Amino acid sequence: MATRYWYKDVLPATAMASAEFSNVIGNILFKAASSKGLSYYIYLTYCYALATLVLLPITFFLISKTGLPPFKFPLVSRLCLFCLFGLSGQLCTYKGLELGTPTLFSAMSNLIPAFTFILAVFFRIEKVALRRSSGRAKIIGTIASISGASVVVLYKGPKVFYSPHRTSSSSVLLFHRPLGSPQSDWMIGGLLLAVGYLCNSVWYIVLAQIMKIYPEEMIVTFIYNLCEVILYVPLCLLGGSNTSSWRLTPSIVAASILYSGIFAFSFNTGVHIWGVRLKGPVYVASFRPLSIVIAAVMSAIFLGDDLYLGSVIGALILSAGLYAVLWGKAKEEEMSFDDDSGSSS
């Protein structure tokens, strides 16, 4: 029983939180690298290519054990949709960030759990029994997680932690630029971000269907990374990238690509795919707002930003909401396990 609790509850939650932490570090490194002229498309091409190379020996080993995937229409069609929605989501969110602001980017990311929850219920991947406490807990927890992340982004409040080494760099000022900035067409940016996050939610739903057909996380991760490389190379060429833009200089550019390719892209994607197979798309998506709180805390500790009351309140609300979702999922799995035990006996 203890082993089942560790594998079904503790390990997935720890892995999802670690993936969001890794994602925040990758974003910070990319921001530093992009300020040195690194193109987003070239960055993604390099990262996906590196992640593909990292996963190549593992994939060969697994295929030698299990054989090639059954490349029939149900699996191939969903893999194509999986890769296309992943590409579309990244392109829309990047363009939305370019036209909008990082504040808008963070605020709109809270739509992912809501979109995923609605789509999962619509496609009958997730069941919601309103008469049961577990069903109500998932709904309330999802709303609370989104609300908590929104508080972190939209409410500042008084300072609760003042850093004597606060930096005045342009990257920090950029994060506090108001939503109504005349320098950005934030309305179009917000629309593109909404479309991008909807694509991300569909990505989770399609992934859940793939896992039912072919539950091999690492092989699916390898196929996804390989397909994204094939899709991004023509985009870079069509975008008019010259040979000098492909050079991995200065060192922050190389560090950003190495970290993201080895950890953020291969590790995060693998963890998300494993989490969707084990716990479902809503469970994985409910951890996405956690990255906002992680980014706020890391900025206070490592970048010298002040920590405000809004971040603390938002983190507490988000934590309570996340706990409610996890409790609801655990309660449903416990009831399902008891039903299976009762029917087998």
Asked whether 268 and 21 are in contact (CB, 8 A), the reply is no
Nearest to 117 by CA among 209, 195, 202, 191: 202
Q: Residue 345: what pLDDT?
A: 55
Q: Residue 308: what pLDDT?
A: 77
Q: Residue 182: what pLDDT?
A: 44
Regions in the chain scoring below 70 on pLDDT: 1-2, 4-5, 98, 100-107, 153, 161-186, 240-241, 299, 302-306, 337-345
In this predicted model, what pLDDT tens digit does every residue of 257-308 receive, in sequence order?
Answer: 999 998 888 888 899 999 999 888 988 988 887 877 787 777 677 666 667 7
User: What is the DSSP secondary structure assignment for residue 159, as one 8-state letter?
Assistant: E
Q: Residue 169: what pLDDT?
A: 42
Q: Residue 164: what pLDDT?
A: 56
pTM, 2 dp: 0.81
Q: Residue 107: what pLDDT?
A: 64
User: What is the DSSP secondary structure assignment for residue 184, as one 8-state letter?
Assistant: S
Q: Residue 342: what pLDDT?
A: 57
Q: Residue 275: what pLDDT?
A: 92
Across 189-275, the runs of DSSP E, i.e. the strands, are none
Here the tokens at position 79 are: 């893999």
Pairing mode of beta strands 307-308, 159-161: antiparallel
- CA 269 vs CA 86, 166, 186, 191, 265: distances in Å: 11, 34, 29, 25, 6
